[in-house]
């Protein structure tokens, strides 16, 4: 089957067919290793006939870039077990089974290794699996990544799994029997074909990948077979087959092998004409660029993350925020929810696991410092800000700082106005006494004056006395 036929077949496969109608190949095989496309007309026992499913252009550089961006970014986010408090805050749990798994999931890999492999498998195959080993207290003591898994349904609807693809586990434990779903971490993307079988975003970019593969294969064949030389020789003379063969041998003798780079002497009116990049090659490059954009769109990842153009963002934080608002935020939340289910947590906001994305801004030190400096004004204490930088607490740093002009919201509009001076003579005694007596009399008469209002009245009375005394002295 040539490339064009395969593209048309895949396009027909991706379109909906009438329910119950026969669908011609190729068929996507997602059971076993390797998985991929089975060509049309392949026998049912294709594995016994030496026929392997064709991978869907798994070597695409753009797909690898998108998958690696997700896998490496999520692996760089440290995780924590959190529980909410009655006062509205939260507390980090460090003694739970989940906290121990986050620190060290097993004896041969780290949490970064586990997240890296889980995320890669999630975006290349649409689902990822891990096997949980429990201790005598029925707590999860170990978590092991498994390459492949298949759901098994019992007659009563109970879910079991068959897991393979970890040589270490297969030598330590007996995994040939079905494993209950409670002991399996199963992360899956959308499930259009089966509720327990996820599908990768690569399927949405199948046509783009096959177009790239067909174009690259064709270009590779040209270069390998040397069907496209850098020069062509042309002449107005009529040459026989023997003469043309003799001229070709002479040209090759001066331009290949030991004589590469030599200067051939042309005769018979021959002219060397270089081959330049034509409009077709430019269209091919544009097609590659458009296909890359479509693949990145299917993975919901900004082109700036991959470093291949697009409108630049003002800062690293803005770029990461844009990605977190689309694909990365979903991926993190999806993995966190799967961990919550495995460990029996209530979920956000009561009790949950969280992978912190602040670690992604380690290289943007200035932006982090600016954000923490702004946060220490009315929002967080200095020690809380220092804790984000792993710095020790300081004395007096547990108080939230505000500016002098800030007042409680219930005091807005209640500040007392200064009393006016008496118009008659005896200004010095009468005014001072009058203002003080007025304030006290007002309170004695039953006016609804608070302590803050009385304090404000006394403050303004003292200011008036001092200014009036300076005026009299002058």
State which H helix or E strand residue 354 sits in. Answer: strand 351-355
Q: Which helix (H) or strand (E) is 368 found in, with range?
A: helix 365-375
CB 24 within 8 A of CB 36: no
Q: Answer whether 202's CB lies under 8 Å from 124's CB.
A: yes
- Beta bridge partners, 37, equal 28, 54
Nearest Cα to 57, choosing from 300, 323, 288? 288
Q: Output the DSSP codes for 291-338.
A: HHHHHHHHTT--HHHHTS-SSPPSSHHHHHHHHHTTHHHHHHHHHHHH
Half-sphere exposure of 76 (CA within 13 A, CB side): 14
In the chain, where are the structural domains located?
A: 1-55, 58-228+275-363, 364-406, 416-473
Sign of the dihedral defined by the CA atoms of residues 209, 215, 216, 221, in that order: positive
How high is the pLDDT of residue 155?
A: 92
> Which candidate, 218, 209, 207, 228, places its Cα nearest to that of 2?
218
Q: Using the 8-state DSSP alphabet, how is residue 44 labeled?
A: T
Number of helical (H) and strand (E) elements in the chain, helices listed first:
15, 13
350, two tokens: 């009561």
Query: pTM of this prediction?
Result: 0.63
Q: What angle do CA 16, 19, 21 make, to 5 degrees?
A: 90
pLDDT, tens digit only, all 474 positions of the chain: 444 454 555 555 455 555 566 666 666 666 555 566 676 677 777 777 877 776 654 567 888 899 999 999 999 999 999 999 998 889 999 999 999 999 999 999 999 999 999 999 999 989 999 999 999 999 999 999 999 999 999 999 999 999 999 999 999 998 888 999 999 999 999 998 899 999 888 877 766 666 666 666 656 655 555 444 566 777 777 778 887 788 778 777 777 666 666 666 666 677 777 665 555 555 555 656 667 788 888 888 888 888 777 677 777 778 888 888 889 999 999 999 999 999 999 999 999 999 998 877 766 777 778 888 888 877 888 888 888 788 888 888 888 777 776 666 666 666 555 556 666 554 444 444 444 444 444 444 444 545 655 665 566 566 556 655 555 555
Helices 279-298, 61-75: crossing angle, 10 deg rounding: 30
């Amino acid at each position: 089957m040539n490339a064009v036929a395969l593209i048309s077949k895949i396009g027909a496969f991706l379109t909906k067919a009438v329910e119950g109608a026969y669908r011609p190949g190729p068929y996507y095989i997602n059971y076993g290793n390797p998985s991929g496309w089975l060509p049309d007309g392949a026998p049912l026992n294709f594995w016994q006939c030496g026929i392997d499913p064709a991978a869907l252009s798994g070597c695409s550089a753009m797909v690898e870039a998108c998958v690696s961006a997700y896998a490496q970014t999520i692996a760089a986010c440290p995780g924590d077990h959190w529980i909410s408090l009655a006062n509205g805050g939260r507390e980090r749990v460090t003694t739970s089974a989940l906290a121990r798994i986050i620190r060290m999931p097993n004896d041969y890999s780290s949490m970064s290794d586990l997240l890296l492999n889980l995320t890669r498998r999630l975006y290349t195959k649409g689902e990822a699996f891990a096997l949980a080993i429990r201790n005598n207290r029925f707590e999860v003591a170990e978590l092991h990544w498994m390459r492949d898994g298949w759901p098994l349904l019992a007659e009563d609807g109970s879910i079991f799994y068959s897991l393979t693809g970890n040589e270490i586990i297969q030598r330590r434990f007996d995994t040939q029997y079905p494993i209950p779903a409670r002991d399996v971490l199963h992360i899956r993307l959308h499930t259009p074909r089966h509720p327990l079988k996820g599908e990768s975003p690569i399927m949405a970019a199948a046509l783009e990948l096959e177009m790239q593969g067909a174009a690259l294969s064709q270009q590779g064949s040209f270069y390998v077979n040397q069907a496209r030389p850098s020069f062509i020789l042309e002449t107005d003379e009529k040459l026989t087959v023997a003469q043309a063969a003799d001229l070709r041998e002479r040209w090759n003798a001066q331009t290949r092998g030991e004589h590469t780079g030599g200067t051939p002497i042309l005769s018979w009116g021959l002219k060397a004409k270089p081959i330049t990049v034509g409009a077709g090659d430019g269209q091919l490059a544009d097609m590659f660029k458009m296909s890359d954009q479509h693949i990145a769109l299917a993975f919901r990842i900004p082109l700036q993350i991959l470093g291949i153009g697009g409108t630049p963002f003002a800062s690293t934080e803005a770029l990461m925020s844009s990605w977190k608002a689309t694909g990365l935020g979903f991926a993190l939340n999806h993995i966190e929810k799967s961990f919550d289910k495995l460990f029996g947590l209530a979920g956000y906001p009561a009790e949950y696991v969280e992978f912190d994305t602040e670690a992604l801004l380690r290289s943007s030190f200035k932006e982090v410092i600016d954000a923490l400096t702004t946060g220490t004004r009315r929002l967080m204490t200095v020690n809380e800000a220092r804790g984000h930088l792993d710095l020790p607490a300081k004395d007096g740093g547990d108080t939230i700082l505000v500016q002098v002009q800030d007042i409680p919201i219930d005091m807005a509009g209640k500040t007392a106005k200064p009393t006016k001076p008496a118009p008659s003579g005896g200004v010095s005694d009468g005014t001072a006494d009058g203002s003080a007596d007025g304030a006290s009399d007002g309170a004695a008469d039953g006016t609804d004056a608070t302590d803050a209002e009385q304090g404000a009245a006394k403050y303004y009375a003292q200011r008036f006395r001092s200014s009036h005394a300076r005026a009299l002295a002058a």
